[in-house]
A and B are shown apart, each in its own frame.
Chain A
Amino acid sequence: MSSTEQGTSSAAPAEPTTAPESAAAPEVPESFYYVHGKDKVVHKVSAGALQHSALIHGMISNLGYTEEQAKANPFPFENIDGDILQMVVDWCNQHKGKPTPPEDTNLPKQKEKLFDLVLAVNYLEIKELLTYCCKQVAMMVKGKSPEEIREIWMIPTDAEDEAAEKEAKKRAGKEAAGETAAAAGDAK
């Protein structure tokens, strides 16, 4: 994706712009693909940027779509929130064709979205971004006590785990009893 299109999101995909010509060698025109998340907002992304995602790269590598075909067939990621997909697309654009630095300052900063972002990145198989996100998750508990870690990572206490287990057993027992009663009723 060219710089003018970075972060472009619209219900109708924008027309691709022409990549700047190099004086040294004729450039191969860049191909673009389209993705959308749960919100159906379509993002136009270059094949180069999408190479970060092993999942999408695998999908597009043998397609040989024309621009029109690609536009007509955006990849649907219904399990990813639109704003999360936007973050991922932004990151892929920023790191297109570049080696990712050891300390990435372009990481998405919204901590409240981190959980969903990690799941999305994991699903899309973006290895480097996943490592960064997991590192950020790990960094959340640096220097914290177990009580604080429990709070940050929403880890139930042993008592809460035991209560939940009891509750689950109780529910399962009730359900089993209900099924037995229903089966007996059917038999009558």
Chain B
Amino acid sequence: MVFQMPIALLKFPNDLLREVFRLCNPFDLYKISKCSKKCSQRSITLGGAKNWKITYSGGNVITIWVDGSNYNFNQADYPEDYFQMTIGRYSNYMDIEFPNGGGVDLFFYLLDTLGIRIVKSLEITFGTIANVAKVAKVLADRKMEVEHFVIGNVEEVQDVVDFMPTLSQMNITQEFHCFLNFPPDFHFEFVKYPRKVVITDSSWFTIDQLFECTCVRIELEKSTFNNHDLDAFLQKWKKAGTFPNLRRLQILSDFIDDESPIQEMIPPIQTFNNPRIRVSIDGHDGIVDGVRVTKDDGTVGWLKVEFGVWPELNFLIVDPTDTVVEEIHDDVDDETDDEW
């Protein structure tokens, strides 16, 4: 039963309607769009583009990010649960009826109805490759920005292999994170690199790809790079104008050994100064006991190659605006810090 005094919203001039819609959250706008087709159309037309972002993992939840809060649209099993909401300080949930096309249809309904222009994250998780692939194809066609794309360690490896050509057409801007173990004959070329790539089984990522990589940050685990590859990379890096974006490189490879030199140094490569030197970016992601390497144009990098649990190369490129070089005492843990 509604006790509110009614107000004829659709008789408002468009600029007022736009202002009212601007003040609504994603749950409000979704419900308004469900009032009637006309209402849905007007909310699309007048809602305008927003800085809201959307996240989808191919399942039964779609999340809209609004500043610091998130609004989760969950699939409800029973009609009596439709539009039931749980409102929290930051996380909010609403049960809704998913359309016949499931999460994929809802994803595009929300994208269009709420005027969303950026996908915060798209993730392939167990059993979701088909849905994510459908969404990714349309996003690639629309040339829409996807900030983060994650491939989980799913069982449907061949489906992911088949999907990869679509991935190469996508506009992934911030991060590509891959946990999947691809088959030995797998090959993939990035057309455009995001700011960051993290590949936990990177045996397919070749040294030529590393040479062409435009990322700010590269993390490769289970790499096949050997000392010679890494030396070649550093030789190239030293030339002026190469790798203009790169700030951080981390490579874990069983093929790094203590038999051949990298930059004329036999690994492990590190300093034994007292006090020890820690170099970090804005205080994070530091390298302790690194060796200074200088580029032809004077840019400084800090290199460390060590044999811990895995042989590992760490390289950090200095930018005077954010790089912190500090002396540390012996009792400080020398592991790399949080990501920046």
Which residues of A come within 8 Å of B, CB atoms?
111-112, 114-115, 118-119, 122, 130-131, 134-135, 137-138, 140-146, 148-158, 161
Q: Are B6 and A141 in contact (CB under 8 A)?
A: no
**Interface CB pairs A-B, < 8 A, 26:** A111-B7, A115-B8, A118-B12, A119-B16, A130-B16, A130-B19, A134-B16, A138-B21, A138-B23, A138-B24, A141-B24, A141-B31, A141-B32, A146-B32, A146-B34, A146-B35, A148-B2, A150-B35, A152-B2, A152-B7, A153-B9, A154-B6, A154-B8, A156-B36, A156-B38, A158-B38
Contact B10 A155 (CB under 8 A): yes
CA distance A137 to B12 in the complex (A): 11
Which residues of the other chain, B, contact A154 by a CB distance below 8 angstroms?
A: 6-10
Cα-based distance from A155 to B42 in the complex (angstroms): 12
B85 contacts the other chain (CB 8 A): yes
Q: Is B20 an interface residue (CB 8 A)?
A: yes
Q: A149 and B7 in contact (CB under 8 A), knowing A137-B20, A155-B39, A158-B37?
A: no
The 8 Å CB contact of B7, one of A114, A131, A142, A146, is A114
Of the candidates A130, A144, A145, A153, the one whose C-beta lies within 8 Å of that of B6 is A153
Q: Known contacts being A134-B23, A141-B28, A148-B2, is A153 close to B7, with CB within 8 Å?
A: yes
Task: Give Cα A25–Cα B294 distance, bound, in whole angstroms.
Answer: 67
* Contacting residues, chain A, for B15 (C-beta < 8 A): 122
Within 8 A of A (CB), among B1-57: 2, 4-13, 15-16, 19-24, 28, 31-32, 34-39
Q: How far is the CB of B88 from chain A (nearest CB, A)?
A: 14
Beta-carbon contact of A134 and B19 below 8 Å: yes
Provide the bound-state CA to CA distance between A175 and B275, in Å: 94
A101 CA / B242 CA spacing, docked (Å)? 53
- Which of chain B's residues has its CB closest to A118's CB? B16
Residue on A nearest B39 in the bound complex, by CB: A155
| Chain B interfacial positions (CB closer than 8 Å to A) | 2, 4-13, 15-16, 19-24, 28, 31-32, 34-39, 82-83, 85
On whether the beta carbons of A138 and B6 are closer than 8 Å, the reply is no
Query: What chain A residues lie within 8 Å of B85 (beta carbons)?
Result: 143
Contact of B36 among A114, A145, A148, A161 (CB under 8 A): A161
In the complex, chain A residues whose CB is within 8 Å of the CB of B8: 115, 153-154
10 closest residue pairs by CB, A with B? A153-B9, A138-B23, A146-B34, A111-B5, A134-B19, A154-B8, A112-B5, A155-B35, A115-B7, A150-B35
B7, B12, B32, B38: the one contacting A161 at CB < 8 Å is: B38
Complex CA–CA separation, A158 to B6 (angstroms): 19
Q: Which residue of A lies closest to B40 (CB)?
A: A158
What's the least CB distance linking A20 to chain B, in Å? 38
Bound Cα distance A176, B28 (Å): 42
When distances are taken between beta carbons in the complex, the residues of chain A under 8 Å from B2 are 144, 148, 151-152
Give bound CA distance, A137 to B39, whole Å: 16
B36 and A152: CB pair below 8 A? no
- A111-B4, A131-B19, A138-B23 known; A157+B9 contact, CB < 8 A: no
Q: Are B7 and A137 in contact (CB under 8 A)?
A: yes
Which B residue sits closest to A140, measured CB to CB? B4
Residues of B within 8 A of A158 (CB): 36-38
- Which chain B residue shows the least CB distance to A137? B20
Select from chain A the residue with minimum beta-carbon distance to B18: A134
B13 touches A122 (CB 8 A): yes
**B93 CB to nearest chain A CB (Å):** 13
CA separation between A151 and B37, bound complex, in Å?
A: 16
> Is there contact, CB below 8 Å, between B4 and A152?
yes
**CB-CB < 8 A to A111: which residues of B?**
4-5, 7
Q: Nearest B residue to A152 by beta-carbon distance? A: B4
What's the Cα separation between A142 and B26 when bound, in Å?
11
Q: How far is the CA of A130 from the CA of B28 in the complex (A)?
A: 20
* Cα A187 to Cα B7 with chains together (Å): 49
Q: How far is the CA of A165 from the CA of B213 in the complex (A)?
A: 58
| A157 touching B36 in the complex, CB below 8 Å, given contacts A134-B20, A141-B28 | yes
Residues of A within 8 A of B19 (CB): 130-131, 134
Q: Which residues of B contact A135 (CB under 8 A)?
A: 23
